[in-house]
Amino acid sequence: MGRREAIDIDMREVARRVLLENGFRPDVPQALDDTVTRDELAAARDMRDMPWSSVDNDTSRDLDQLEVAERLDDGSIRMYVAIADVDAFVAKGSPIDEYAWTNTLSLYTGVQTFPMLPRVLSEGESSLLEGQDRLAVVTEMVVRPDGTLDDKATKIYSARVQNKAKLVYEDIGAWLEGNGSAPRDPQIAEQVQLHDEAAQRLRERRFEHGALELETIEARPVAEGGRIVDLELQHKSRARELVEDLMIAVNGATARYLEQRGYSSIRRVVHAPKRWERIVALAAESGTQLPAEPDRRALASFASARRKADPVRFADLSLSIVKLLGPGEYRLQRATDPDTGHFGLAVDDYAHSTAPNRRYPDLITQRLLKAAAAGERAPYSDDELLALATHCTERENAARKVERTMRKVAAAVLLSSRIGDTFDAIVTGVTPKGTFARLFKPPAEGLVVKGKEGLDVGDLVTVKLVDTEPTRGFIDLVAVSRGRRS
């Protein structure tokens, strides 16, 4: 099959079609609930004078989190993390709440974002925008020098806050890594260093308990005017890790806060991997023997060693481990239930609570936290939470399918003129639906239609591109030879 001209399609039309095919509503209602009351404003603590800051993508306007910190006499760090008070604007059972329940999360397709809430809220009234007075739910927690949290010191309350500096991941990451300039405001720069110190403490503590230090690299479609022009890889940085570590701590602190007060919640759970034997086999290829049964400390030690030994190829190994771990799920957690935990993060208590503008489970948790802080009756019964957990898991799985399909459509467009070329790749999935491999350059995933016999997740292969169907995101590959893991 010979080369052909690259295919040009309107990706925004494709995105809407893919959303509809997967049961999502692409058009958010614009009528607002406007439920903020004078009583809510009066009850909120006035913390607007504190040096709050956010770290996010340069173009992001749906800002969910702000941070500020202070060092205590015993060396502990008191972190204040403000989360946008979305519940103040979106009443349970309202039309906007029902729309948010339908989709359960904002969808990022690379060419267009389909927000969970009207933009006038998620990028306006409920977004913690720089220089704007906003309502927030603050989690106050104390990080000890050894990275543990003093749960007795955890507090939850409503507050009025103001973002003093919207910082950007790339800029802050470069500065923290010694390759960039500090924030212009010396007070904000000092604050970010303190936040980073707290995050590093938390991170080291999680790693001591077997948290997995993985680096998965996803390709993001880059579009101009609805047309795909490139695939862009997003790498981790010190700034992204800073935010991630603080949010993991908040999610754990809020889960325990609810449990200690007798409230049921929706927990985020990742079980021990069902395909542990394949992870064992991958480790053996590198000369490491893992236990026969899932052991997160042993896996974490192996992953850390491979990062140091082969940093260039570590992302490929990370991708294989993530695929074999499998997706997380939401589950009802009664206060008296034993903790199931999150295998990858090495935490026993974990409830999504830090992104209510973008994820519905976080809005549910926020309503529970506000009720618990006020000593009021829980806004959800156990039966409601069980149904919500099931629904949110199903919608998240569908959202992954949407985003995966859009990446494939973008990749198929870029590859449509390269039929017959060969590429180095790694096997990313072996399922009843087929065997899949991801090219290294460009980072596109396709179906292995021939030569798949004996392939498994993590295998390195050379493949030939034999066909693409961009409007459906189909990329067909033939495995022509196998590589070796060094």
pLDDT in tens, 259-301: 999 999 999 999 888 889 999 999 998 899 999 999 999 999 9
* Backbone dihedral angles phi then psi of residue 348, each to the nearest 5 degrees: -95, -25
Core vs surface per residue 419-441: b (16+ CB within 10 A) or e: beeebebbbbbbeeeebbbbbee
* Weakest mean pLDDT among 203-217, 284-298, 399-413, 451-465: 203-217
pTM of the model: 0.88
Q: What is the pLDDT of residue 42?
A: 72
Q: What is the pLDDT of residue 2?
A: 46
Token output for 125: 């009234």
Which ranges constitute the DSSP H helices of 1-126?
Answer: 11-21, 38-43, 95-103, 119-120
**What mean pLDDT value characterizes the chain?**
90
Domain boundaries, the chain: 32-270+327-400, 276-325, 418-482
Q: Secondary structure of the chain: what % helix, strand, coil (to 5)?
A: 35, 25, 40
What confidence tier does 442 reach under pLDDT thresholds 50, 70, 90? confident
* Weakest mean pLDDT among 265-269, 329-333, 464-468, 470-474: 470-474
* Weakest mean pLDDT among 10-24, 146-160, 301-315, 378-392: 301-315
What confidence tier does 4 reach under pLDDT thresholds 50, 70, 90? low
Is pLDDT at 471 greater than 50 in this prediction?
Answer: yes
What confidence tier does 219 reach under pLDDT thresholds 50, 70, 90? low
What confidence tier does 233 reach under pLDDT thresholds 50, 70, 90? low
Q: What is the pLDDT of residue 325?
A: 86
Q: What is the pLDDT of residue 235?
A: 66
Closest CA to 347 of 240, 253, 243, 216: 253
Give the model confidence (pLDDT) of 291-343 as tens digits. Answer: 999 999 999 999 999 988 888 678 778 888 888 888 899 999 999 998 888 88
Bond before 338 cis per omega within 30 degrees: no
What confidence tier does 217 reach under pLDDT thresholds 50, 70, 90? low
Q: What is the pLDDT of residue 225?
A: 65
Cα–Cα distance for residue pair 477/411, rounded to 1 Å? 13
* Weakest mean pLDDT among 206-220, 307-321, 335-349, 378-392: 206-220
Q: What is the pLDDT of residue 234?
A: 65
Q: What is the CA radius of gyration of the chain?
A: 23
Q: Is 2.30.30.790 the CATH classification of the domain at 418-482?
A: no
Cα–Cα distance for residue pair 353/369, rounded to 1 Å? 9
Q: What is the pLDDT of residue 286?
A: 86
Measured CA distances, 394 to 104, 327, 352, 355, 391 (Å): 10, 11, 16, 19, 5
What confidence tier does 1 reach under pLDDT thresholds 50, 70, 90? very low
Residues 6+ apart with CB under 8 A from 484: 460
